[in-house]
């Protein structure tokens, strides 16, 4: 069972905004002031801040993709991943800190999509910082109420005989979607398979890239 996927290449990078590093807006000044106050008080050090920024920079979608790809080639790992996502991440050497991860699996019958309607909860300790649109008013308002329309706007058309499950991360758990393995990938290495797993497919607004689209 394949899902239709309209050609969908656009990720718009927004133009520089007034609150980028080169303009000292009020809130930029507040950030500097707070950081300096906390350093002066010995509550944090500049080095800690620098290291924490680096740490978060090192967390990205590729980490989740490794888990999904492992699950595609190793059914026992997939079972463990669906049972306890955090433990499965750590099994692959992926530090996730206190993250309580639930991995939900797409199948020919079920398509999952993740949202945090109340704020922006996201498995950041695994995947890094979420994209702006995930935190946006429009996504948070509409995907829980009209998931099929929102997914269609992303170019992802879910057939009527596939159930959609929207997961609203309202509390302590965090979610990641394990997309279905695309057809035509028999015998592929785990690393090559991981290359097909996009961040958007792990949020659920897209499916994994197919070999044809990868080549194209």
Residues with a catalytic annotation lie at: 116, 119-121
Q: Applying CB under 8 A, does 60 fall inside the site for other proteins? A: no
Task: Return the residue matching tokens 């995947």.
Answer: 127
Cα separation, 71 vs 195, whole angstroms: 14
Q: Applying CB under 8 A, does 7 fall inside the site for other proteins? A: no
Which segment (7-15, 73-81, 88-96, 187-195) binds other proteins by CB under 8 A?
A: 7-15
Among 2, 52, 189, 191, binds other proteins (CB under 8 A): 52
Which segment (70-78, 85-93, 170-178, 179-187) binds other proteins by CB under 8 A?
A: 170-178
CB of 65 to other proteins, least distance (A): 18
Q: Applying CB under 8 A, does 76 fall inside the site for other proteins? A: no
CB of 189 to other proteins, least distance (A): 29
Token pair for 99? 């993250």
How far does CA 53 lie from the centroid of its chain?
A: 19
Burial 166-182 (b: 16+ CB within 10 A, else e): bbebeeeebbbbbbbbb
CA angle 31, 127, 23 (to 5 degrees): 25
How far does CA 135 lie from the centroid of its chain?
A: 12
CB of 46 to other proteins, least distance (A): 9
Residues 145-164 that bind other proteins (CB under 8 A): 145-150, 153-154, 160, 163-164
Residues 84-113 that bind other proteins (CB under 8 A): 98, 100, 102
Give the number of residues in contact with other proteins, rule: CB under 8 A.
73
Residues 176-205 that bind other proteins (CB under 8 A): none
Cα separation, 100 vs 21, whole angstroms: 33
φ and ψ at residue 168, rounded to 5 degrees: -100, 110
CB of 134 to other proteins, least distance (A): 9
Left (φ > 0), alpha (ψ -120 to 50) or beta: where does 140 sit? Answer: alpha
- If the CB atoms of residues 19 and 212 are measured against other proteins, the closer one turns out to be 19
Among 7, 13, 186, 215, binds other proteins (CB under 8 A): 13
Cα separation, 159 vs 126, whole angstroms: 30
Q: Indicate the DSSP class of residue 135.
A: G
Among 1, 2, 36, 183, binds other proteins (CB under 8 A): 36
């Amino acid at each position: 069972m394949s899902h239709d996927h309209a050609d969908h290449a656009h990720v718009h990078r927004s133009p520089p905004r007034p609150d980028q590093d080169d303009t000292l807006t009020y809130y930029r000044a507040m950030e500097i002031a707070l950081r300096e106050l906390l350093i002066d008080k010995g509550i944090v050090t500049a080095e800690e801040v620098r290291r924490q920024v680096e740490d978060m920079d090192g967390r990205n979608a590729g980490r989740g993709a490794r888990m999904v790809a492992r699950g595609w080639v190793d059914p026992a790992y997939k079972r463990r991943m669906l049972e306890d996502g955090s433990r499965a991440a750590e099994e692959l050497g992926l530090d996730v800190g206190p993250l309580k991860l639930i991995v939900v699996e797409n199948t020919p019958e079920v398509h999952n999509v993740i949202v945090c309607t109340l704020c922006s909860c996201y498995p950041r300790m695994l995947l890094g910082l979420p994209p702006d649109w995930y935190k946006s008013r429009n996504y948070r308002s509409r995907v829980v109420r009209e998931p099929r329309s929102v997914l269609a706007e992303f170019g992802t058309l879910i057939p009527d005989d596939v159930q959609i499950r929207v997961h609203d991360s309202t509390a302590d758990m965090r979610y990641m979607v394990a997309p279905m393995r695309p057809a035509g990938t028999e015998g592929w290495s785990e690393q090559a398979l991981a290359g097909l797993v996009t961040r958007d497919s792990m949020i659920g607004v897209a499916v994994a890239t197919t070999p044809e689209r990868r080549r194209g």
